[in-house]
């Protein structure tokens, strides 16, 4: 499965200043490589450090997974909140049937109990 990072908050995609050096950029609003394994890893690591369900739910990034066989992917946005699509056999598909590591984790913690 391939992974990309999307923004789920209104206001547009940007990366935290602290990630700029790691990702080799100086402009946190113009980082376009959403498939960058380093970016995916940073999102996964930061998400794993969140302690409560509320923090996880409010986290602005999501990792979307889609099949390796997909020929391309596309991100659309509405007021900054993004939706991802991929192209498979010439058709545009939405990865709603796949779950990201982050979305799976949110669902696992949906019982309302916070971790210590």
Does any domain span residue 67? yes
Which residue would you say has higher pLDDT here, 98 or 76? Answer: 76
Does any domain span residue 115? no
Does any domain span residue 70? yes
Per the structure, the complete domain to which residue 28 belongs is given by 2-108
Q: How many domains does the chain have?
A: 1
Does any domain span residue 11? yes
Residues 6+ apart with CB under 8 A from 103: 62
Quote the percentage of the chain above a pLDDT of 70: 81
pLDDT(111) > 60: no
Does any domain span residue 60? yes
Q: Where are the beta strands (DSSP E) in the chain?
A: 2-7, 61-66, 72-78, 81-88, 91-93
The band of 112, judged by pLDDT with boundaries at 50, 70 and 90, is: very low
Does any domain span residue 116? no
Does any domain span residue 113? no
Does any domain span residue 77? yes
pLDDT, position 96: 52
| 26-47 average pLDDT score | 90
């Amino acid at each position: 499965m391939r992974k990309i990072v999307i923004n789920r908050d209104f206001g547009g995609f940007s990366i935290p200043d602290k990630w700029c050096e790691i990702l080799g950029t100086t402009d946190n609003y113009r980082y376009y490589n959403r498939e960058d394994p380093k970016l995916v890893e940073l999102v996964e690591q930061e998400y794993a450090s969140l302690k409560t369900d509320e923090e996880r739910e409010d986290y602005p990034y999501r990792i979307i997974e889609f099949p390796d066989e997909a020929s391309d992917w596309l991100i659309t946005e509405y007021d900054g909140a993004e939706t991802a699509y991929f192209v498979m056999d010439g058709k545009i598909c939405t990865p709603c049937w796949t779950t990201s590591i982050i979305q799976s984790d949110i669902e696992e913690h949906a019982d309302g109990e916070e971790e210590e």
